[in-house]
Structure 1
Amino acid sequence: MLQKTNRLTLVEQVALQMEGLIESGKWAVGMRIPAEPELMVELNVSRNTLREAVRALIHAGLLKTKQGDGTYVCSSSALGVVLQKRILRSDTLKTLEVRQALEREGAHLAAQRRTSEEARELLLQLERCEAAAARGDIDGFVAEDIRLHQTIVAASHNEILLELYDHIAEASQDSITSLTRYEVKADFLEIHRQLVEAIVGQDADQAAAAVHRYISESKAVFEGREEEQR
């Protein structure tokens, strides 16, 4: 038998309001949230209620407290926290398989839906990747490469796909960085150029095929490193 749902407690309401500020970007990751007195006035709640709400968000992984400094935003959403914890329990190969699924669909849709402005931005972002690689700036290349893939997925115009991808990219950044350091070579860059040109040319099948090729290369790099360590 279905039970009557309970109304949200005041603490839950305050926590949801604060979570909304985080998810909207008003409280960005890395930002120190306002001090207790300010929040008590803004939210019109008591100190105890506010502290309970903050504790709930700390437990959820959205906030963290630095002793003597304040409370900071450490994740953009509860979904991101869940995905991060799950990815940390997975190996790189499984993460690559998830990336392939999301990036392939993102590229396929981007080729169909990208705007003229997005096509120009993709070409500019590709040039930034190639420039970083040319000057041997590995850290710069990694950052630009991640932005390139986020730009591609954004051009799919599927907000759910973009949110999932952003969280996956954030949670798996260490493994992406580790693999990308081994992948800055001519053929890897050429595949990315083929990917962008396929999206610009609105060839969805070629865009998806390019994703398959560079993920296959990443898998080969991972498996080669695993073999060396045995």
Structure 2
Amino acid sequence: MRNVARTSLVDAAIEELRREIAGGAWPVGTKIPSESRLAESLGMSRLSVREAVRVLVHAGLLTTRQGDGTYVTATDESRVALRRRLDTAAAMEIIDVRRGLDLVAARLAAARRTGEDVAGMRAALARREEAARAGDLDGFADADVDFHLRVADAAHNDLLADLYRGMGEALRDSVRSLEEAALEPDSSHEELLRAIEDADQARAVAVSMAILDRQERSMA
């Protein structure tokens, strides 16, 4: 009976930690409280909390950094599963999937964008351009992906935005893989922003297609 009781406590701790993560109490990339603090706040033993954390690390929601602490890496298991699948996908497979997501996102963004959406996209493009001038490939990749995520957000379709966010790291990797070619001058993203701002759905779709065609050629 003691084993059953302990299992129940661990399950309860897992569910509580999962709820905190999914609810945004600890966003992705943030460090969760220490084992002792979690045990105190949950009213459970450190042993139960330690086992719950171990389970969530195995599930991919958390990661432990030796000598540092435990950090949130995903908000739910579905994103973990998608990320693991993307890790094994070929670059051209990702481009093919993006043709579906990006074109829909561009069309809907042109139809539904708000002034706040446009301002966010413009700020991301400014960071992208600054990183390109500085030769900062990592910063460029982050800003590039942020721009496309903001386009997806401007579509105001939660499912589309979640799918795109699930691909975030794969998108960064695809940009970084282009190396110097990614930093070459290119006005297509500014053209996409103008099309979205002008509510020109057809042009937004056409420019999105051109962006992906260019990336595909760079990978050849």
Instruction: Please confirm whether the aligned pair reaches a TM-score higher than 0.5, indicating the same fold.
Output: yes
- CA displacement, residues 106-127 of structure 1 (integer Å, 9 cap, x when unaligned): 1111111101222233234333
Partner of 1:190: 187
Q: Residue 221 in 1 paired to residue 211 in 2?
A: no
Distance 1:191 1:116 in 2: 21
Partner of 1:71: 70
CA RMSD of aligned residues (A): 2.2
In structure 2, the CA distance between the partners of 1:185 and 1:66, relative to structure 1 (3 Å rule), is closer
Distance 1:192 1:75 in 2: 28
In structure 2, the CA distance between the partners of 1:130 and 1:171, relative to structure 1 (3 Å rule), is closer
In structure 2, the CA distance between the partners of 1:158 and 1:183, relative to structure 1 (3 Å rule), is same
Distance 1:195 1:30 in 2: 30
Q: Give matches, 1:64-213, under 5 Å.
A: 64-179=63-178, 181-186=180-185, 189-213=186-210
Partner of 2:3: none
Partner of 1:28: 27
Q: Residue 60 in 1 paired to residue 66 in 2?
A: no
Determine helix, strand or coil for the equivalent of 1:157. Answer: coil
CA contact (8 A) 1:35 1:70 kept: yes
Determine helix, strand or coil for the equivalent of 1:75. Answer: coil
Report the AA paired with residue 207 of structure 1: A
CA contact (8 A) 1:75 1:81 kept: yes
Structure 2 unmatched runs, 5+: 1-6
CA contact (8 A) 1:129 1:141 kept: yes
CA contact (8 A) 1:84 1:172 kept: no
Distance 1:148 1:92 in 2: 20
CA contact (8 A) 1:83 1:168 kept: yes
The Cα of 1:72 is off from its aligned counterpart by 2.5
Distance 1:204 1:180 in 2: 31
Distance 1:173 1:129 in 2: 13
- CA displacement, residues 161-200 of structure 1 (integer Å, 9 cap, x when unaligned): 11221120124422222126413333xx222122111100
Report the AA paired with residue 122 of structure 1: M
CA contact (8 A) 2:145 2:171 kept: no
Distance 2:205 2:85 in 1: 26
- CA displacement, residues 122-171 of structure 1 (integer Å, 9 cap, x when unaligned): 23433332343344443332222111111111111112211221120124
- CA displacement, residues 58-114 of structure 1 (integer Å, 9 cap, x when unaligned): 110112233444323233332221112101111100011122221221111111110
Structure 1 unmatched runs, 5+: 1-7, 224-230
Query: Taking structure 1 as the reference length, what is the TM-score of the superposition?
Result: 0.82
The Cα of 1:53 is off from its aligned counterpart by 1.6
What is the aligned residue count? 214
Distance 2:47 2:135 in 1: 53
In structure 2, the CA distance between the partners of 1:80 and 1:171, relative to structure 1 (3 Å rule), is farther
